[in-house]
Structure 1
Amino acid sequence: MSTSLSLSKKRVKELGKLKADAQALLAHQQDVLAHATDVAQQAGKQAQYLTREQVYPRVRGGYASYVTPAAERAGHVVTHSIVPAVGTVLGTALSVADIANDTRVKAAVKRVKASGNQIARQFPGGKKPKRKSHVGTIIGVSLGVAALAGVAYAVWQTFRSDDELWVADEPESTSNPES
């Protein structure tokens, strides 16, 4: 079933005019959007030019002025402070391990154990006294303290030398000697 609306000639004329206005408005909005797209493209190109001409050179200059010297200083600190400290700690640890594996040290440890067994037999009930410390524990703690001191010193040197890294240059004073 189709129902047809019967509109007056006046309404048909007004609807036609409204439709024409809507189409004109749509065409105008499409023109505005096309113009906005062109403006956005031009702004993007200008941003690229500005970046290429202004931002990149400043970034390169900042990198050369701040990052490169800081990296060189950090490399110097690592090669002249941290690496020798770690080498010293490792050398000390290896020498202690060599001493512990020496046959004379092992023989001395056996003699101490033997004398400890003789002392233990002298106690009633054959109970050995509890030991309060071990040589290995003392050596391990000493190595740990030495390693910690070496690392702490290297870190302190690293941060101490970087204190002046980010200090800005003072502007030259423009004093007039005649005034």
Structure 2
Amino acid sequence: MSLSRKRQKELKRLRATAEDLWGDQQQVLDRANAVAREASRQLSALHHEEVVPRVRSGYESYVRPGLSQAREFASTAGDGVERALGSALGSVLSIGDIANDTRVRRAVERVSPKAVAPAATKSGPGFGAVLAIGAGIAVAAGIAYAVWQTFRADDELWVADDEPGPAPSSPAL
């Protein structure tokens, strides 16, 4: 296909203009990429300089005291439950030892021969089983109370932020 000289010149100019436009677009894209990289770097620096310290201070002032209080309460409650359970179990074991003592059995038989029941007739759970069930319920109640205390809303735990004062009024024009 043959083109006139005029058309060839116009096509040549159009091609040169298109190549210039393509080059300009490449420069604009390169510049946009550089700006995006710089914005990303600035955002990262802002994150490390502003956001991280605020999150740390918020954690230190709001979360950590609550966790410390919960830990102390759980430790205190656990120690109390452990002492109470140990005392109850020790009492039960000592009562059992005393009841199994032959001197005590003879003394009870002398006072009342019907007081000592035969060992073969058991009608239901014994005293130890009832005591173990009661101790289990007490431990479950203690744990439930500790969990409730940990997760309940505590107004003294949160400190309100200072509200800014009223803005100064501008003079009338």
Interval containing the TM-score (normalised by the shorter chain): 0.5 to 0.7
The residue number in structure 1 matching 2:134 is 142
CA deviation after TM superposition for structure 1 residue 159, in Å: 4.1
Q: 1:84 aligns with which of 60, 68, 79?
A: 79
Q: Is the 8 A contact 1:86 1:147 kept in 2?
A: yes
Let me know the Cα RMSD of the aligned residues: 3.6
How far is the alpha carbon of 1:138 from its aligned partner? 2.5
Q: Aligned equivalents of 1:42 and 1:170: distance in 2?
A: 35
**What is the number of equivalent residue pairs in this alignment?**
152
Partner of 2:56: 60
2:91, 2:22 → 1: CA distance? 89
* Match of residue 152, structure 1, among 132, 137, 144: 144
**Mapped contact 1:86–1:151 kept (Cα < 8 A):** no
Aligned counterpart, 1:124: none
Distance 1:160 1:26, change over 3 A: closer
In the alignment, the residues of structure 2 paired with residue 42 and residue 145 of structure 1 have an alpha-carbon distance, to the nearest angstrom, of: 63
The CA distance in 2 between the partners of 1:89 and 1:26, in whole Å, is 85
Q: Displacement of 1:106 after TM fit?
A: 9.6
Distance 2:80 2:32 in 1: 64
Q: Which moved more, 1:43-52 or 1:31-40?
A: 43-52
**Contact 1:100 1:106 survives alignment (8 Å):** no
Q: Distance in 2 between matches of 1:90 and 1:23?
A: 89
List structure 1 segments (4+ residues) > 4 angstroms apart after TM superposition.
105-108, 169-174
Instruction: Return the match for 2:34 from 35, 38, 49.
Output: 38
Contact 2:85–2:135, Cα closer than 8 Å, also in 1? no
TM-score, normalised with respect to structure 1: 0.62
TM-score (norm 2): 0.64
Q: Which residue of 1 aligns with 2:67?
A: 71
Q: Choose from 102, 113, 118 the match for 2:119.
A: 113
Residue 35 of structure 1: CA displacement?
0.8
Structure 2 runs not aligned, ≥5 long = 106-115, 167-173
Q: Which residue of 2 aligns with 1:127?
A: none
